[in-house]
């Protein structure tokens, strides 16, 4: 078969990176494979080392792995297979957490869920075949920090109660009940008792672990409620689930549950939102559906019915955009929608980060939609995409099959 018929090839002008087998003494000796259909390089490990006689490392994307599938086979399966139920990933993740092996999880899915072998292997590969940590200075793998999460019962108790939720009320008023309720379910929006009407934006990672919950209270215009403290400082009605839980325990003079004590322990490396908001959507979305990233969870939710071609995610803050948070998106096309700013600094910052991410193999672009269409007054106000959409379309009308 002629070489040109292969989708994944080593290009004539090599794209270089460090060989995983050579070590730090020999830099940028690995020529990476590229996807001839997109022009994008494959993940770092797929390539051929230039030091053929001394190293000999060569990982071909058509080479079969332990699962019996090659990289090419897995990509083809993602594009041709039917969506896998989200519940399969959830149950498999719980089994893995309990120490169940990869092969046992595959067997369980086949026997209990009537999954095909291909489907079961895809679920297991998603959970087990994550990139290994890079070695530390002594050549040994960097030890992974323990993951601290919020229990499912705390998460489940927040779901629903939307007659007490201002954000749910605003969504229903703007989009209508059917579309709004689909959004509330899609993004697992919770209700909080921290302030009357407050909602919870849950940060759930790609393994469906509940990493944090941001509490927000919105006013009648979808903006965060502000209040003034004694010294005249303006603060927003924003908090976190773990903080609100601790506050309630203190008020009732009750001890902290074990999960909360660990979450609040300063000796533990706990981040409130270490992952993207909206990641569980990836479990059932088509592999070729592009991702759009905004700063705030509110913006991701509101933008979804306006632009349903994207999977809408939020990074949480302007400075949170980095390769670590975007790791679950490798292989997908990503478009960034930075907030407006008076001097364009927000756009410039994300544009610089996008350049760095592009060099690391991400398929990423930065949208100029807001910069091209917003007025100077809107830029001065620092509107985000949700603010802009709500201002432009007072009454929602796009067709969105929820």
Q: What is the pLDDT confidence band of residue 21, given thresholds at 50, 70 and 90?
A: confident
**In terms of Cα–Cα distance, which of 63, 68, 74 is closest to 126?**
74
The tokens describing 246, both together, are 């601790």
**Residue 76 per-residue DSSP state:** H
For residue range 273-306, what is the model confidence (pLDDT) as tens digits?
A: 789 999 999 988 888 899 999 999 999 999 999 9
pLDDT number for residue 142: 42
Q: Is the pLDDT of residue 3 over 50?
A: no
Q: What percent of the chain has pLDDT over 70?
A: 87
Residue range 14-20: mean pLDDT, rounded: 85
> 């400082």: which residue's tokens?
233
Best CA proximity match to 215, nearest among 291, 270, 154, 304 = 154
**CATH architecture observed for domain 279-392:** 3-Layer(aba) Sandwich (3.40)
Residue 196 is predicted with a pLDDT of 95
**Cα dist. 18→23, 280, 300 in Å?**
8, 32, 36
In terms of C-beta distances under 8 Å and separation of at least 24 residues, what long-range contacts does 96-101 make, across chains too?
96/127, 96/128
Mention every residue, 6+ apart, whose C-beta is less than 8 A from residue 301. 171, 183, 187, 189, 312
Short-list 210, 395, 397, 206, CA closest to 313: 206
Mean pLDDT across 308-321: 92
The answer to which of 70-79, 294-303, 313-322 has the lowest mean pLDDT is 70-79
SS3 197: strand
**Which residues, in sequence order, are bridge partners of residue 135?**
141
Closest CA to 329 of 294, 367, 284, 363: 363
DSSP code at position 81 = S
Going by C-alpha positions, the residue among 373, 377, 300, 381 that lies closest to residue 346 is 381
The band of 163, judged by pLDDT with boundaries at 50, 70 and 90, is very high
Q: Rounded to whole angstroms, how far apart are CA atoms 45 and 185? A: 38
329 in Cβ contact with 291 (< 8 Å): yes
Domain ranges of the chain: 1-63, 80-128, 152-264, 279-392
Query: pLDDT value at position 262?
Result: 86
- Supply the pTM of this predicted model: 0.65
Region 32-48 average pLDDT: 82
Give residue 132's pLDDT band: very low, low, confident or very high (50, 70, 90): very low
Mean residue pLDDT across the chain: 83
């Amino acid at each position: 078969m002629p070489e040109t018929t292969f989708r994944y090839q080593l290009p004539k002008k090599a794209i270089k990176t460090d060989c995983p087998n050579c070590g730090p003494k020999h830099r940028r000796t690995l020529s990476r494979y590229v996807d001839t259909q997109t022009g994008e390089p494959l993940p770092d490990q797929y390539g051929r080392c230039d030091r053929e006689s001394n190293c000999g490392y060569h990982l071909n994307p058509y080479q079969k792995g332990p699962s019996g599938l090659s990289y090419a086979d897995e990509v083809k399966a993602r594009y041709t297979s039917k969506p896998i139920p989200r519940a399969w990933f959830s149950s498999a993740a719980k089994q893995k957490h309990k120490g169940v092996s990869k092969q046992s999880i595959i067997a369980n899915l086949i026997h209990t869920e009537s999954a095909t072998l291909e489907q079961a292997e895809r679920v297991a590969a998603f959970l087990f075949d994550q990139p290994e940590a890079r070695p530390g200075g002594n050549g040994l793998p960097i030890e992974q920090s323990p993951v601290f999460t919020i229990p499912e019962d705390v998460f489940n108790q927040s779901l629903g109660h939307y007659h007490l939720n201002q954000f749910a009320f605003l969504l229903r008023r703007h989009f209508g009940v059917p579309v709004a309720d689909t959004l509330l379910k899609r993004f697992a929006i919770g209700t909080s008792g921290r302030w009357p009407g407050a909602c919870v934006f849950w940060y759930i990672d790609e393994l469906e672990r509940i990493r944090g919950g941001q509490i927000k209270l919105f006013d009648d215009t979808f903006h965060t409620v502000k209040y003034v403290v004694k010294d005249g400082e303006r603060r927003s009605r924003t908090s976190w689930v773990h903080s609100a839980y601790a506050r309630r325990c203190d008020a009732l003079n009750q001890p902290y549950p074990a999960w909360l004590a660990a979450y609040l322990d300063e000796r533990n490396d706990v981040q409130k939102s270490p992952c993207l908001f909206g990641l569980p959507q990836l479990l059932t979305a088509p592999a070729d559906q592009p991702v759009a990233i905004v700063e705030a969870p509110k913006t991701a939710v509101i933008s979804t019915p306006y632009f349903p071609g994207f999977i809408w995610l939020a990074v949480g803050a302007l400075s949170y955009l980095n390769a670590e948070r975007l790791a679950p998106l490798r292989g997908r096309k990503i478009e960034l929608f930075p907030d407006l700013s008076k001097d364009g600094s927000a756009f410039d910052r994300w544009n610089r980060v996008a350049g760095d991410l592009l060099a690391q193999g991400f398929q990423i672009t930065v949208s100029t939609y807001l910069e091209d269409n917003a007025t100077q007054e809107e830029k001065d106000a620092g509107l985000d995409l949700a603010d802009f959409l709500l201002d432009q379309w007072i009454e929602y009308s796009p067709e969105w099959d929820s």
